[in-house]
A and B are shown apart, each in its own frame.
Chain A
């Protein structure tokens, strides 16, 4: 055999050996149940292909956390991780949007609603062994609120603080009043904190239950500096929650282990691994294959398959969103209620839900989901009625003139509530055409034009949606109809409430601290929105979460994915 031939044979043999070692070797032995998982430990034997370790819940999601400091994140993937590690003063009850005690055991508000006093749970420690107490609470609030605080890092956004509390320290409105609802925090004693507000804010308790306002250890943030919350941080992330960070391989997996000193019920599964698997189909195959124990963001096409698979359990979380058609009432004829009513009656929401969703959505009757308190259960939606719509249109045309082509903004990007916006827009266009309203679809670039155009008042009808942040009706209804950012009455970039009386009611509701009275006010607000046809709510969509059938203990929730009680 010549030398060249021998070389070729050796190369081929190496290739065969490569494939052979990879494919033909015995599968590795399963992990022992108590194997610790640390980067510094010697390599351990991995589990069988298709099996997860018995002491670890492996949960697949689409993307890794951007950061593990809840104060500076806005994405759901980061909050999925931080929900397991951190806690705040309050939290949402399992499965709902009402608030219950967490690190605060009780609270009271002054009569003017400007001072809130919280009694803190005692004997709680952060994962680094430091005490959770009033000083730690005050430190965290000051860090979020005060841009001069040494750990209010310059290039961090604290986006949700600005959104929910409306501003930072020393920021003022044009009239000189403080922008922020929040005025300050004070430690009355080691287990009592007083929060002072610039104006009454009834959503305060709901806001405090958000994952973004959970507490980090001051010592940890000071030690890690601006690397806190990142894989390079030392430490990475320190909270008081039932799980703590063991290891973080960015964009691959986050390993959490039980906090042995947790004050509450320990996790049902000792370890939790959050695996980042970008492709929905790959993630589903991995779940079916047993390589992960649970996942979110199932492709709609796979819902039926997952429901038929006896090895899997599909649960739909209560919806926390709304997709809708809005009217810009600054543009005639959309200031005419008959014109708006005609559009509302011409859209068949049931047909939309049946054809464009995979059993994971419901027609929307109100501009907030039914999972929220304040939802008006007695309200009857405008039903699909083309004949009635044409009658309404006649009434509309008696007083107003329709443009030759109504500018209808259709979203160019999918959002959770509108997974097929183009098809939906075309369907609605066809229904409006049948009504007698000719529309011209505009789908400018989402990144540069769509939202600015809608907010500047260039659209007459527009598709948009909203996902709730804090389980408070104010987060939906005031966002839409209080006027500050309203697209429902927008002219040349100037926004105003589409209905002043409604805006007044909503602002009053957000300052009322009596829960029963607030509920009544929001039910009334929903009725007003319906009666005035300020918008046409189309759909609420429920995200599915899927587990292996052997995994139990998960409680579906509109606001959070808490995996602490999940067992396998």
Chain B
């Protein structure tokens, strides 16, 4: 078991190095930061100054070495657009993305797993077909379209939810973690907590539909495979109630591939949050990164991509390490 854990942790290191170098190298051979920064006020003289100031003419390996050295000291450079430290801006925006992604994955799991179980338990029934049609729709709907539809119906027409932002005008919550749900709870303000949840509801729902659909489908497939096993047939033959067969004997064994999918979907949510954050004016890392890409703000793009990639890597690591608990065959290796 220990060798498995050590191997998995060590395997992360070269992956992180590869990600950082690829990100760095790709961004520095495409685009012209001079014209991006100066726009219609571009002049060759101004461009020379920009290239000197941001060391854009140093060789790539030299620039990468500087980048890695600074990164290990917690310095990801300054945003070209705002001149502020990238780390400071990242610290402001990361909690918003985590809060949204966490809410979305919770909704996705709460909706997807039961739906998948019911679909598998009632295989080939109308419930099964209905569930899978819903799952297909969930995977197919573009998030930005769904977001606008949710705003139009639930905010504009029905007025049940606000359409944008994390907080309404006139409300501030003392910042502690940056995740307003936690900050409101810490301040003991349940009223503010309710308001924050209302602002979180529509974007979280929009963001959860695709992972919920994936989770439902994988749950169904996994459950069907497990329900076809000999020991399940034995349990049924012994007269065990179908509900107990599904919940007690089948579900835990079906969870292993599901944990992988949930982990991958959580990582995908962080990158998929870009469109949702834009539609709902959610001040997170996704929107920040997209703005940086269009503005050729290289330090911010690097930081955004690194955050997504590193989060993905560590989520996968957590998933792999969770197998130690879930799969006895690994525990006793």
Contacts and interface: CB of A to CB of B under 8 A. Distances in A.
A43 B165 contact: no
B92 interface: yes
B291 interface: yes
Contacts of B283: 249-252, 276
A279 interface: yes
B281 A49 contact: no
Given A50-B159, A155-B53, A447-B31, A18 B197 contact: yes
Interface in A272-291: 273, 275-279, 281-283, 285-286, 288-289, 291
B188 to A, nearest CB: 9
Residue in A49, A66, A163, A232 whose Cβ sees the most chain B Cβ within 10 Å: A49
Interface string B279-302: 111010001100100001000000
Contacts of B248: 2, 4
A288 B107 CA distance: 29
Interface in B239-265: 243-244, 247-248, 251-252
Interface stretch (A32-40, A86-94, A132-140, A340-348): A32-40
A452 B32 CA distance: 11
A276 B39 CA distance: 22
A252 B166 contact: yes
A288 B192 CA distance: 25
Given A4-B251, A232-B88, A447-B35, A22 B281 contact: no
A46 B155 contact: no
Interface stretch (B130-138, B167-175, B317-325): B167-175
A329 to B, nearest CB: 21
A21 B174 contact: no
Contacts of B15: none
A42 B78 CA distance: 33
Nearest to B96: A252
B160 A43 contact: no
Contacts of B287: 251, 278
Interface residues of B, number: 75
Contact of A448 (B31, B166, B244): B31
A278 B166 CA distance: 14
B142 interface: no
Interface in B143-174: 147-148, 151-152, 155-156, 159-174
A168 to B, nearest CB: 11
B2 to A, nearest CB: 30
A355 interface: no
B289 to A, nearest CB: 12
A564 interface: no
A67 B82 contact: yes
B135 to A, nearest CB: 18
Interface of A: 2, 4-5, 8, 11-12, 14-15, 18-19, 21-23, 25, 28, 31, 35, 37-47, 49-50, 52-53, 56, 58, 63, 66-67, 74, 155-156, 159, 162-163, 226, 230-232, 247, 249-253, 273, 275-279, 281-283, 285-286, 288-289, 291, 446-448, 451-452, 466-467, 485
A232 B162 contact: no
B28 interface: no
Interface string B62-99: 00000000000000001001111000110011000000
Contacts of B152: 285
Interface in B183-236: 184, 187, 189, 191-192, 194-195, 197-198, 200-201
Given A282-B151, A289-B163, A447-B35, 15 more contacts: A28-B194, A43-B174, A46-B169, A47-B169, A226-B83, A273-B169, A275-B169, A278-B281, A282-B163, A282-B164, A291-B162, A447-B31, A451-B40, A452-B35, A452-B42
A67 B80 CA distance: 12
Main secondary structure of the interface of B (DSSP, over half): helix
B192 A451 contact: no
A289 B169 CA distance: 14
Contacts of A276: 281, 283
Nearest to A456: B44
B330 interface: no
B106 interface: yes
B40 A46 contact: no
Nearest to B200: A22
A226 to B, nearest CB: 8
Contact of A15 (B110, B156, B173, B200): B110
Contacts of A14: 110
Given A47-B169, A47-B170, A67-B83, A250 B89 contact: yes
A9 to B, nearest CB: 10
A8 B247 contact: yes
A448 B32 CA distance: 5
B89 A285 contact: no
A21 B161 CA distance: 12
B36 A447 contact: yes
B111 interface: yes
Contacts of A289: 155-156, 159, 163
Nearest to A35: B170
A19 B201 contact: yes
B55 interface: no
A18 B107 CA distance: 9
28 contacts: A2-B244, A2-B247, A8-B114, A11-B110, A18-B106, A18-B107, A23-B201, A25-B198, A37-B172, A39-B175, A40-B174, A43-B172, A43-B173, A43-B191, A44-B170, A44-B172, A46-B167, A46-B169, A46-B171, A47-B171, A50-B155, A52-B170, A74-B39, A249-B283, A252-B167, A282-B281, A285-B148, A291-B168
Contacts of A281: 148, 279
Contacts of B195: 28, 46
B84 A230 contact: yes
